[in-house]
Structure 1
Amino acid sequence: MVLALFRKAEIEPPADIEAASLRSDRFRLEREVDWKRLDQIVTALEKNSPRRISDKDLLELPVLYRKAASSLAVARETSLDAATLAYLESLVRRAWFQVYGPRIGLFGWLRRFLGGGWSAAVRAIWLDICIALAVMVAGTIVGWLLVDQDERWYYSLVPGAMADGRAPGADPDMLRETLGTAENADGLGVFAAYLFSNNTGVCIMAFALGFAFGVPTLLLLVYNLSLLGAMVWVFQEAGLGLDFAAWLSVHGTTELGAIMLAGAAGLHVGRTMAFPGDRSILAAMQSAGVRAAQVMAGCTIMLIVAGLLEGYARQLVGDTPSRLAIGGTMLTLWIVYFAAMPAPRERET
């Protein structure tokens, strides 16, 4: 009797394994047709070959996906063989992306972004833009008044490398030469790249400092624009105020616009943190962060344009009316785009 029990115990484990194997095979055979059909549809979609898919298969894609997901749940609960489980996990993951994943690629996203997504994000932070603009104007006036009161303020506001001989009391002819043009475009590409890098640093700093409730962003905007106000005073005193304005407008309407938007994006995040309303700070920051990120993505485009204008157009176009025309045209284009471009329609799901 005891010997029989031992023999039975020796036989039962292999029998259990064999039974489990049979269940796994039966489970796969009963559903494998649907899995293969789903695999073929998903593979065709991944290869951007929807024409290879019949209308019937395309309509049944969600149904097949749900069946595969259900099979995966059963496979996990019943501990089926590892190969079946791995296959189902991969298939369900790929099918999920085709059923619920995004339907837009890089160029589609860029078209949607430039076609109204960016302008809508900018309009959404209009209050922060007004604050940033007011602070920038105030900073320019402060720089002007400080230097007008005491010329020594100029050397405190404007770094020596940036001044480059443009200082209070400088000879007007020398100042006019600093507003001149290059003889040709050789080397201007490197110059444009340098300007883009420098301006990008200012914009990133203005945005990043917004997380400290926006206060450092305001101070940065005041400082950068007080520097500009000091320079405007120098050229105005030399009788070159209009020439300097034209020289600056070529790239300034785009560059200063990008800095203003970057500062406004930082202020938007900081203001939302300080005044989240009925929402939690994290929830408020999430929605504000999405809008601010869209604005900053657009600032990158503006900085590229500003770098090209500053590195090429400003260096090759020398007469004041033409420079004013370029700067005015760019300002008009940006205002019209941000004010009039409608928001993109929501995609149907």
Structure 2
Amino acid sequence: MREVAFIKQNKQKWLNFEKAIFGKQLKNPDELASLYIQLVNDLSYAQTYYPKSKTILYLNNLTARAFQKIYKTKREDNNRFIHFWKTEVPLIVYEYRRYIFYSFIISFCFIAIGVLSAANDGAFVRLILGNAYVNETLENIESGDPVAIYKSGSNWGSFIGITLNNLYVGIQAFLYGVFAGLGTVYVMLHNFIMVGSFQYFFHQQGVLWESVRGIWIHGSMEIFAIVIEGAAGLILGASILFPKTFSRITSFKIGVKNGVKILISTFPFTIAAGFLEGYVTRYSNTMPNWLSVGIILTTLSFISFYYLVYPFMVNKKLKEFHATL
């Protein structure tokens, strides 16, 4: 069968299925499962006979969303909260994994720019971090406590203030994606050039290790979360620029929906980072190296596993589910 005939024969069925998945009046789980099996069969047929066709992209996207919808409505998975973190977010992250990759590349590039700029221009660090911060940190280094600035204020006050600021940065990184992704890149540029110049400043003063063992207690999750939030913003921008088989407005709605879910998934990590900065980082100079390094590696491993490893595990389970149909 020619591809045109294949599309013409199944187009209405696919449109009806889209309405069942995205519409307000949802079909019951059994009916959805039946439609899902038909959709998987169509996808398999398209992969066999039209391997380079855009139809495969459309059907694969629809199949993934159908899988999420079916699992959301299954009785044994009636806890919406658990489903969101355990299945829904990982599948979305896997679907948009290339944007996570792009976000990491952009972040590393801006960090490198920050390092090189600070290394070649003595005034750059003051331009980025401000004279007050630099002067106070220099005084702290002379007194033997390079990260003493994180001891100012009360524990709970620092926790709340820092957390609210980091949540604001994350939301900003996502929302600015509406400007074709350029707004997100700007937010990332500002934050990651600051990270690069900030760390080079401590290296220049001969206290890089002291800064790493203190600052990255909270920074590992805080910075990683900004990378993921940047990816969510890039997804939003791409939904406008590259609608694929959807209309631009439909693509934008999907981009907003999925981007928001990824954004929300970073909030617990951002809050945890704020807690560590308010209650733990201030004691980094008194704790043994093994403890500070252990905290850094544990937090970094946890957030890395959730966004870089676990989505592949969930997707593998999805493929195994397909194989049983």
Measured after TM superposition, the shift of residue 171 of structure 1 is 7.4
- State the alpha-carbon separation in 2 of the partners of residues 172 and 182 from structure 1: 14
Cα distance, 1:102 vs. partner? Answer: 7.0
156, 164, 172: which one pairs with 2:127?
Answer: 156
CA contact (8 A) 1:209 1:216 kept: yes
Where does residue 342 of structure 1 map in the other structure? 314
Q: CA deviation at 1:110?
A: 1.4
Whether 2:91 is the aligned partner of 1:120: answer yes
String of CA shifts for 1:299-334, please: whole Å, max 9, x gaps: 111111111111112123434432221111111112
Question: Cα distance, 1:198 vs. partner?
Answer: 0.6
SS at match of 2:215: helix
| Structure 1 Cα separation of the partners of residues 290 and 218 of structure 2 | 15
SS in structure 2 of the partner of residue 278 of structure 1 = coil
2: CA distance, partners of 1:126 / 1:258: 15
Q: Which residue of 2 aligns with 1:325?
A: 294
Residues 146-185 of structure 1: matches in 2 within 5 Å?
146-160=117-131, 162-163=133-134, 165-166=136-137, 172-174=141-143, 176-179=145-148
CA distance in structure 2 between the aligned counterparts of 1:149 and 1:111, rounded to whole angstroms: 49
The counterpart of 1:248, out of the listed 209, 215, 218, is 215
How far apart are the structure 2 equivalents of 1:162 and 1:197? 20
- Look up the SS of the partner of 1:176 in the other structure: coil
| In the alignment, structure 1 residue 223 sits paired with structure 2 residue 223 | no
Distance 1:259 1:240 in 2: 25
Q: Structure 1 CA distance, aligned partners of 2:171 and 2:88?
A: 21
Are positions 1:311 and 2:305 aligned together? Answer: no
- After TM superposition, the score normalised by the length of structure 2 is 0.67
Shift, 1:163, TM fit = 3.7
**Does 1:267 pair with 2:238?**
no
Letter of the structure 1 residue corresponding to residue 303 of structure 2: W
* Matches of 2:142 and 2:87, distance apart in 1: 46
In the TM superposition, what whole-angstrom CA distance separates every residue of 1:172-226 from its partner, at most 9, and x where no partner exists?
434634348759xx93012101110010111111101100000121122112111
> Which one has the largest radius of gyration?
1
CA pair 260-192 structure 1, distance change in 2 beyond 3 A: same
CA contact (8 A) 2:140 2:147 kept: no
Structure 1 unaligned runs (5+)? 1-100
Please tell me whether the aligned partners of residues 175 and 235 of structure 1 are also in contact (alpha carbons under 8 angstroms). Answer: no
- Number of aligned positions between the proteins: 241
- Residues 1:172 and 1:311: Cα distance change in structure 2 (over 3 Å): closer
Check if 1:135 corresponds to 2:102.
no
Specify the alignment match of 1:235 in structure 2: 202
Give the TM-score normalised by the residue count of structure 1.
0.62
